[in-house]
Amino acid sequence: MRILFYDTKKYDRESFDKILPKYKDIEIEYTESDISVKTARYAAGFDAICAFVSSDLSREVFEVLAREGVRLVLMRCAGFNNVDLKAAKKHDITILRVPGYSPEAVAEHAMALALACNRHIHKGYIKVRENNFSLVGLTGINFHNKTAGIIGTGKIGAAMCRICRGFGMRVIAYDIYQNPDLDFVEYAKLDEVLENSDLISLHCPLTDDSYHMINEKTIKKMKDNVVLVNTSRGALIDTEDLIKGIRAHKFHSVGLDVYEEETENVFENREDDIMQTSITSRLLSFPNVIVTSHQAFLTEEALEAISYTTLENAQSYLEGHIIEQNEVAK
Among residues 233, 252, 260, 282, the one annotated as catalytic is: 233
Kindly report, residue by residue over 64-121, the tens digit of the pLDDT.
999 999 999 999 998 888 899 999 999 999 999 998 888 999 999 999 999 999 999 9
Taken in order 292, 296, 301, 306, the sign of the CA dihedral is negative
pLDDT tops 70 at residue 267: no
pLDDT of 124 reads: 95
**Which of the two residues, 276 and 60, has the higher pLDDT score?**
60
Q: How confident is the model at residue 330 (pLDDT cuts 50, 70, 90)?
A: low
- Catalytic residue check, 262: yes
Kindly report, residue by residue over 288-321, the tens digit of the pLDDT.
999 998 899 999 999 999 999 999 999 999 999 9
Percent of the chain with pLDDT over 70: 95
Among residues 120, 203, 282, 294, the one annotated as catalytic is: 294
- Catalytic residue check, 294: yes
pLDDT tops 80 at residue 276: no
pLDDT tops 70 at residue 266: no
pLDDT tops 60 at residue 265: no
Enumerate domains of the chain plus CATH numbers. 2-101+299-326 (3.40.50.720), 103-291 (3.40.50.720)
Q: How confident is the model at residue 47 (pLDDT cuts 50, 70, 90)?
A: very high
The residue ranges of DSSP E strands in the chain, in sequence order, are 2-5, 27-30, 48-51, 72-75, 94-96, 147-151, 170-174, 186-187, 199-202, 226-230, 251-256, 289-291
pLDDT of 129 reads: 96
Q: What mean pLDDT do residues 16-42 have?
A: 96
pLDDT tops 70 at residue 262: no
- Catalytic residue check, 130: no
Q: What mean pLDDT do residues 190-218 have?
A: 96
Q: How confident is the model at residue 269 (pLDDT cuts 50, 70, 90)?
A: low
158 Cβ contact list (under 8 Å, min separation 6): 103, 179, 181, 182
Read off the DSSP letter of residue 180: T
Q: Provide the mean pLDDT of the chain.
A: 93
